[in-house]
Amino acid sequence: MQDRTYTADAEPGEDATVAGWVHEIRDLGGIAFLILRDSTGKIQIKFEKDEMDDGLVETGLDVARESVVRVTGAVEEEPRAPTGVEVTPAELEVVSAADPELPLDPSGKVDADISTRLDNRTLDLRKDEVQAIFEIRAEILRAVREQFRQFHCTEITTPKIVATGTEGGTELFPITYFGEEAFMNQSPQLFKQLIAGSSVERVFEIGPIFRAEEHNTPRHLNEATSIDFEGAFCQADDAMDVAEGVVTAAYEAVAENCSEELEALGLAEDFEVPEDGFPRISYEEALERINATGELDEQLVWGDDLSTAAEEALGDDVGGHYFITDWPSEIKPFYIKDHDDDEQLSTGFDLMHPRMELVSGGQREHRHDNLIDGFEQQGLDPSEFEYYTKMFKYGMPPHAGFGLGGERLIMTILGLENIREAVLFPRDRQRLSP
């Protein structure tokens, strides 16, 4: 590491070398200031023109904004400086000059649309509020991992290049794998079940999923981060407890450890951790409550999936996170188990935030013959999935699990308008690079 002091650690009374980006230059005539920014904050560099070497003053004040500079000098207390300290430079080196024309203004004085921001993510991330999102994202993922460990889960990594899809044929990205057709995985679904069915029992994964979603919406990505859980000897209720625990842990970690970032996002005052005991509402009751709101043009009937408008009507009615349980079997995938006493009714559940779905999960069909029937009912050829189904013949315990959309979790925690804000380099219909 090069010898330098973070701006936040520059101690008055000592000499220091600080290095970072030129945030701003203010030339007031006899005196001028360069505000230098690094990952820990900002510091003022003072130029008293009459008292300093002309060459040094010229280099310091002619440098374009966002150039990288290294400055060595005496650090002193200065109440008028933005952070209460300033450096009087003895040496100043322009390490990397920036073009005076920037495609994006990192000071945020000039607004940029999301597309310009994503095209220039490096500059965009120089804004405090954008950096705050990714600091919080890192903290959320840390907290989620820790919570899973407390639930005695083992972290796994499953393949992303696969032979078969599980979440609907039209949303697959095909690729060529040494001359054979293969796909980018849509979900770790089958693999996590295969591991839960070994004596590892409880697993989680945080990894990418790929979906060829046709729609361009503020809450869909073509490459997203899925937070998956699978547990042997679990029922749907147990998986719901884990989902609630993980979501709550993420909020708690942000409340406890991200006060500066919340401040930068203007969320510090109103940030709230959701109350535990998310209500569990059956699909049937959900339909009744949605219909009773009178918000929809047409009444919903049994078997209907919930449209965005329906989800929003129910979200407003409930007012917080909630589960929808006991969905009709026909609209849940083959791997979700039906209730033993009613095969029209599945053990599938969704966890909803008032603005959108966060989680899908359920108890799994662990009986080999019923599983094969399920494939056929869904129009899938079970022989293509033999690598999966045959393990159900060698001691497969009852099990349950869920998938939680990582970016949707971040988006709802921070109230972001667009899911792309929660990903460094989002993939959508229009965007394959950077």
The annotation status of 67 as a binding-site residue, yes or no, is no
Residue 402 binding target from ligand ATP, ligand AMO, none, CB below 5 to 8 Å by type: ligand AMO
User: Which H or E run includes 261?
Assistant: helix 259-264
Residue nearest to ligand ATP (CB): 80
Residue 48: CB minimum distance to ligand ATP, A = 7
The annotation status of 343 as a binding-site residue, yes or no, is no
Residue 166: CB minimum distance to ligand AMO, A = 6
Cα-based torsion angle of the residue sequence 135, 137, 139, 141 in order, rounded to the nearest 10 degrees:
-150
Terminal C-alpha separation, the chain: 28
For ligand AMO, the binding residues (CB under 6 A) are 167, 187, 189, 211, 213, 220-221, 224, 226, 228, 357-362, 401-403, 405, 407-408
Strand 68-77 to strand 85-96: parallel, antiparallel, or no bridges (unpaired)?
Answer: antiparallel
The number of angstroms, rounded, from the C-alpha of 117 to the middle of its chain's C-alpha atoms is 18
Residue 360 binding target from ligand AMO, ligand ATP, none, CB below 5 to 8 Å by type: ligand AMO
Which is nearer to ligand AMO, 20 or 361 (by Cβ)?
361
Residue 28: CB minimum distance to ligand ATP, A = 4
Q: 33-41 long-range CB contacts below 8 Å, 24 or more apart?
A: 33/86, 34/60, 34/61, 34/63, 34/69, 34/71, 35/82, 36/7, 36/69, 36/71, 37/7, 37/126, 38/6, 38/7, 39/6, 40/6, 40/7, 40/8, 40/9, 41/6, 41/7, 41/8, 41/83
The annotation status of 256 as a binding-site residue, yes or no, is no
Residue indicated by tokens 């009087």: 88
Which is nearer to ligand AMO, 75 or 136 (by Cβ)?
136
CA distance 140 to 147: 10
Strand 31-38 to strand 15-27: parallel, antiparallel, or no bridges (unpaired)?
Answer: antiparallel
Residue 30: CB minimum distance to ligand ATP, A = 4
Which is nearer to ligand AMO, 106 or 361 (by Cβ)?
361
β-pair partners for 223: 210
Residue 213: CB minimum distance to ligand AMO, A = 5
Residue 158 binding target from ligand AMO, ligand ATP, none, CB below 5 to 8 Å by type: none
Which is nearer to ligand AMO, 299 or 377 (by Cβ)?
377
Q: What's the token pair of residue 154?
A: 């083992």
For ligand ATP, the binding residues (CB under 6 A) are 28-31, 46, 78, 80-81, 86
The annotation status of 408 as a binding-site residue, yes or no, is yes
The annotation status of 261 as a binding-site residue, yes or no, is no
The annotation status of 212 as a binding-site residue, yes or no, is yes
Residue 262: CB minimum distance to ligand AMO, A = 23
Which is nearer to ligand AMO, 149 or 429 (by Cβ)?
429
Which is nearer to ligand AMO, 322 or 402 (by Cβ)?
402
Residues 6 or more apart whose CB falls under 8 angstroms from that of 339 comprise 326, 345, 346, 347
Name the binding residues for Mg(2+): 357, 360
